[in-house]
Amino acid sequence: MHTCLDSKQSIPISALYHKSATTHWPNQDLYKTNAIYPQATPHLTKEEKKKKRDKNPMAMFQKLSFLLHLLVETGAALSFLLTPTSQLPGASPSARLILRNLGGLLLSTNLLCLVFLAQPGFDATAGQVALCLGSYHVWPIYRAYARLRYGIGMHGAQGGVFGGPAVHLVAHVACLGALVGMGLVGVWG
């Protein structure tokens, strides 16, 4: 069975699937350029990819969302790890272990942010990670809102930790907006 590429030449269909086929396709050289498919990009070397990534003027701005997360969550991570009773006064030993576990998890998100801050550029993977980190901030926003709305933990040692729930609400809304916004830009350009 043959397929006709133009009126002068036909090749077997099997040649389309075998690397060993040596049939020359008509206009084959056009496929090496972007004349037929302008959205296709030519094969770039690692150095060319790095140059292209480094020329992105938005990359540093996009990375600010990771920096904001890092700044907001470093204090929280250390607080949960080192002084869990400041977050939950009167916590049982098992509850303190859970709070330290949360602190370790927050610290690992900060390390992830450091990895992406150290990389050149802001690619789709960084955008996906930004979206994931942004989804985390929904829960501290809910916690801060509930504390403000229902007066939960507003008195005593927990009431003024890192400025209290009003500061937490503003900080986490800013993180959510920055991470989701930059994540969408990173993923969908």
The DSSP secondary structure of the chain, one letter per residue, reads: -EEESSSS-EEEGGGGT-TT--PPPTTHHHHHTTSS-TT------HHHHHHHHHT-TTHHHHHHHHHHHHHHHHHHHHHHHH-HHHHSTT--HHHHHHHHHHHHHHHHHHHHHHHHHHSSS--HHHHHHHHHHHHHTHHHHHHHHHHHHH-TT-SGGGTTGGGHHHHHHHHHHHHHHHHHHHHHHHHH-
Within a domain: 6? yes
Are residues 106 and 80 in contact, defined by beta-carbon separation less than 8 angstroms? yes
| Same domain for 161 and 79 | yes
pLDDT band at 156 (very low <50, low <70, confident <90, very high): low
78-137: pLDDT as tens digits: 999 999 998 888 999 999 999 999 999 999 999 999 999 999 888 999 999 999 999 999
Q: Give the model confidence (pLDDT) of 31-62 as tens digits.
A: 555 455 455 555 667 777 666 655 666 677 88
Q: How many CB atoms lie within 10 A of CB 44?
A: 11
Residue 51 lies in a domain: no
Report the alpha-carbon distance of residue 127 to residue 187 in Å, rounded. Answer: 5
| Residue 187 pLDDT level (bands cut at 50, 70, 90) | very high
Sign of CA dihedral 88, 93, 98, 101: positive
Residue 48 lies in a domain: no
Please give the model's pTM, rounded to 2 decimal places.
Answer: 0.68
Residue 91 lies in domain: 59-188
Q: What are phi and psi of 176, to 5 degrees?
A: -60, -50
Report if residue 46 sits inside a domain.
no
How many folded domains does the chain comprise?
2
Predicted local distance difference test score (pLDDT) of residue 152: 84
Rg from Cα positions in the chain: 26
Do residues 76 and 27 share a domain? Answer: no
* Of 100, 107, 99, nearest in space to 74 by CA: 107
What's residue 59's pLDDT?
A: 74
Averaged confidence pLDDT in the chain: 81
The C-alpha atoms of residue 117 and residue 148 are separated, in whole angstroms, by: 33
Residues 65 and 30 in one domain: no
Examine the pLDDT at 9 and tell me if it is beyond 70: no
pLDDT in tens, 174-183: 999 999 999 9
65 pLDDT band (50/70/90 cuts)? very high
Rounded CA-CA distance 110/118 in Å is 12
- Whether 71 is in a domain gets the answer yes
